[in-house]
Amino acid sequence: MVSGRSDGRRLPTAVKIVIAGGFGVGKTTMVGTVSETRPLRTEEILTDESIGVDDVSGVEKKKTTTVAMDFGRITMQEEYVLYLFGTPGQERFWFMWDEVALGALGAVVLADTRRLSDCFPSVDYFERRGTPFVVAVNCFEGAQQFDLTEIQMALNLGPDVPVMLCDARSLASCKKVLIDLVLHAMKTRGLVPETQKA
C-alpha cells in the first residue's frame, strides 16, 4: 500500500501500519481503541492447551489470545486512512509476520516494562526489514516506571527510534502514537504529504 514512493515519494492516502509486540502487551486493545469500524478480531479463549506455551506471567488476567491478527481502520485529517494490522504475538505465529508486514509504512512496537524483553523479536524483525518503527510503552498499573532513555538503551535502539509512553485504552494516546509513527516513517522514507503535491 505504500505505493507513494514510486509516484513522487508522496505519502499515499491509504497506509498500512503494523501493531506488534509480545503477548499480552495491548495490541488487540490498541487496535480496538482506535478503530472507527468494528475491529476484526480473531480472539480465542486461552485454554489448557496453551499452558506452558503462552507465557501469561504478568498478565494472568488475560483470558483470550489473538490467533490470526487484529484489523482496524482509522481516518486521520479526513484524508489519510490508516489500516492497522495487529500481529499475533506468539512465536508459533511468526510465519505470518512477513504477510502482515508486507507493504507497511511502519510499525508500532508495543512494550510492557514488566516484560520488556518480549519486544526484542519485534524490534529485531523491523530493524532487519528496514521498516520504520516506534516503541510505545503501554503503561500498565503497577509496572515500574522507567525513563524513556533507559528503555531506549535497554532495547539497544538507535537514537533516531522514537520511544514514547502510551495507554492502549485511550484514543487520544493511541492517536498520538500513530501520528508520531507516520511522521517518523515519512521522514525515514523521505515521503511528503499528498497535499504538498507539486
Ligand X SMILES: Nc1nc2c(ncn2[C@@H]2O[C@H](COP(=O)(O)OP(=O)(O)O)[C@@H](O)[C@H]2O)c(=O)[nH]1
29 binds, among ligand X, Mg ion, none (CB under 5 to 8 A by kind): ligand X
Specify the stretch interacting with ligand X by CB under 6 A; choose among 22-30, 94-102, 114-122, 190-198.
22-30
Interface segment toward ligand X; rule CB under 6 A; list 20-28, 100-108, 175-183, 186-194: 20-28
Residue carrying C-alpha cell 505505493? 3
Query: DSSP label at 19?
Result: E
Buried residues in 72-94 as b, exposed as e (16+ CB within 10 A) = bbbeeeeebbbbbbbbbbbeebe
Contact yes or no for 31/13 (Cβ under 8 A): no
**Contact mark string toward ligand X, 33..62, x via CB under 6 A:** --------------------------x-xx
For residues 136 and 108, the answer to whether their CB atoms sit within 8 Å is: yes
Considering only the stretches 118-126, 151-159, 161-169, 189-197, report the one whose residues sit in contact with ligand X under the rule CB under 6 A. Answer: 161-169
Task: Tell me how far, at minimum, the Cβ of 39 lies from Mg ion, in Å.
Answer: 11
| Ramachandran area for residue 88 (φ above 0: left; ψ -120 to 50: alpha; else beta) | beta
Could you say which of ligand X, Mg ion, none residue 167 binds, taking C-beta under 5 to 8 angstroms by partner kind?
ligand X
Positive or negative CA dihedral for 141, 114, 184, 87?
A: negative
Question: What are the DSSP calls for 110-133, one per residue?
Answer: EE-GGGGGGGHHHHHHHHHHT--E
> Which of 72, 89, 106, 132 forms a contact with ligand X (CB under 6 A)?
89
Residue 169 binding ligand X, by CB under 6 A: yes
- Asked if 93 touches ligand X (CB under 6 A), the answer is no
Interacting residues with ligand X (CB under 6 A): 21, 23-29, 59, 61-62, 66, 89, 138-141, 167-169
